[in-house]
Chains A and B, each alone.
Chain A
Amino acid sequence: MSVVDGSAALLPEPADEEAAQQADDARLKEIYDEEFGTFSVQSYRIAEGILRAGWRDHEAVKDALQTAYLHGRVHWPKIRSYTKPIAWIITTARNRLLKEHDRGRRETATAPEDLPTGAQPSLADTWEAQETYRGWLQQLPPRHAEVFQMSRHGFSNEEIARTLGLADTSVRHYKAAANRQLRQLAEQAGYKDSDSRRRPGGAHGSR
Chain B
Amino acid sequence: MDLDDILALAEAAEPGPLENARARRVARTVQAEYDRSLTDRYEILVDTDLVDPLTANTDEATRIARAAQLAKRGAIIWRATGSGKSMSIPAWSDEMATIFGYAPGTLRLTPDRLLELIHPADARAFQSSVERAWRRSHPNEVTFRVIQPSGNVRYVHCDIEILTTDGEPSGISATGVDVTALELARQERRRLATREAMLCADLAAADAVTGLPTRGFLTDEVDRARRTSGGALIVVATEPATRLSKTTTDEDRDQLTSEVAGLLRTIADSGLTCGLVGPGLWGVLAFPPQDCPAATELAQLLVDKLRSNLFSVNQEALRLNAWAGVVSFASGTAASGFDLLIDGEHAARDAARKGTPVNVLDRPAKDEERASRCRSRVQHAVTTDRFALYAQPLVDLGINEVTRHEILLRVRGDNGELAAPWAFLDMAERVGEILSVDKWVIDHALELIGQGVQTSHYQVNISGKSLADPGLLTFVTDAIRRHRVKPECLTFEITETALIENRNEALAFATGVREIGCHLALDDFGTGYAGLAYLKYLPVDLVKIDGVFIVDICRSPTDQAVVSKLVELCHELGIRVAAEYVQDDETVELLRQYGVDFAQGYRIGRPEPIAASLQPAENTIEFEIHFPERRTAMG
**Which residues of A are interface residues toward B (Cβ below 8 A)?**
33, 36-37, 40-42, 44-45, 62, 65-66, 68-75, 78-79, 81-84, 87-88, 91-92, 94-95, 98-99, 102-103, 106-107, 110-111, 113, 121-123, 125-126, 129-130, 132-133, 141, 143, 152, 158-159, 162-170, 173-174, 182-183, 186-187, 191-196, 198, 202-204, 207
Contact = CB atoms under 8 A, between A and B. Distances in A.
Interface bin, chain B: 35 or more
Contacts of B67: 91, 164-165
B44 A194 contact: no
Contacts of B64: 165-167
Interface in B302-347: none
Given A71-B48, A99-B72, A163 B181 contact: no
A66 to B, nearest CB: 6
B48 A92 contact: yes
Contact of A126 (B12, B24, B161, B177): B12
Interface stretch (B15-23, B423-431, B442-450): B15-23
A136 to B, nearest CB: 8
A123 B52 contact: no
B60 interface: yes
22 contacts: A40-B26, A66-B26, A70-B34, A72-B30, A74-B34, A74-B46, A82-B55, A83-B55, A92-B48, A98-B72, A113-B189, A122-B1, A123-B1, A143-B159, A165-B68, A167-B60, A169-B164, A186-B3, A186-B6, A191-B6, A194-B4, A194-B5
A40 B23 contact: yes
A162 B55 CA distance: 9
B161 A69 contact: no
Contacts of A87: 52-54
Nearest to B54: A83
B46 A71 contact: yes
Contact of A37 (B4, B10, B31, B164): B31
Pairs A-B, 8 closest by C-beta atoms: A165-B67, A203-B4, A40-B27, A44-B23, A167-B161, A82-B52, A129-B9, A98-B71
A169 B26 contact: no
Contacts of A41: 20, 23-24, 27
B582 interface: no
B29 interface: yes
A130 B173 contact: no
B30 A162 contact: no
B8 interface: yes
B54 A207 contact: no
A182 B23 contact: no
Contact of B54 (A82, A167, A196): A82
A45 B30 contact: no
A193 B2 contact: yes
Given A66-B30, A167-B164, A45 B4 contact: no
A166 B163 CA distance: 9
A159 B137 CA distance: 20
B186 A165 contact: no
B145 interface: no
A170 B159 CA distance: 10
Given A72-B30, A91-B53, A130-B10, 10 more contacts: A40-B23, A45-B19, A62-B26, A74-B44, A79-B50, A81-B52, A95-B71, A123-B9, A129-B6, A167-B164
B368 interface: no
Interface of B: 1-13, 15, 19-20, 22-24, 26-27, 29-31, 33-34, 37, 44, 46, 48-50, 52-56, 60, 63-64, 66-68, 70-73, 137-139, 141, 157, 159, 161-164, 169, 173, 175, 177, 179, 181-182, 185-186, 189, 193
A87 B48 CA distance: 13
B137 A132 contact: no
A113 to B, nearest CB: 7
A168 B164 contact: yes
Contacts of B9: 123, 125-126, 129
Nearest to B5: A195
Given A36-B31, A45-B19, A165-B64, A98 B73 contact: yes
Nearest to B55: A83
Contacts of A194: 1-2, 4-5
A41 B138 CA distance: 38
Contacts of B46: 71, 74-75
A122 B9 CA distance: 11
B54 A126 contact: no
Contact of B1 (A72, A121, A164): A121
B2 A192 contact: yes
A133 B6 contact: yes
Nearest to B173: A167
A203 B52 contact: no
Contacts of A159: 54
B52 A88 contact: yes
Contacts of B15: 45
Contacts of B157: 106
A131 B626 CA distance: 52
A79 B68 CA distance: 22
A66 B177 CA distance: 25
Contact of A73 (B31, B66, B185): B31
Given A143-B159, A168-B60, A207 B72 contact: no
A170 B24 CA distance: 35
A75 B50 contact: yes
B53 A88 contact: yes
Nearest to A182: B3
A182 B5 CA distance: 12
A83 B73 CA distance: 26
Contacts of A164: 67
Contacts of B33: 70
A113 B193 contact: yes
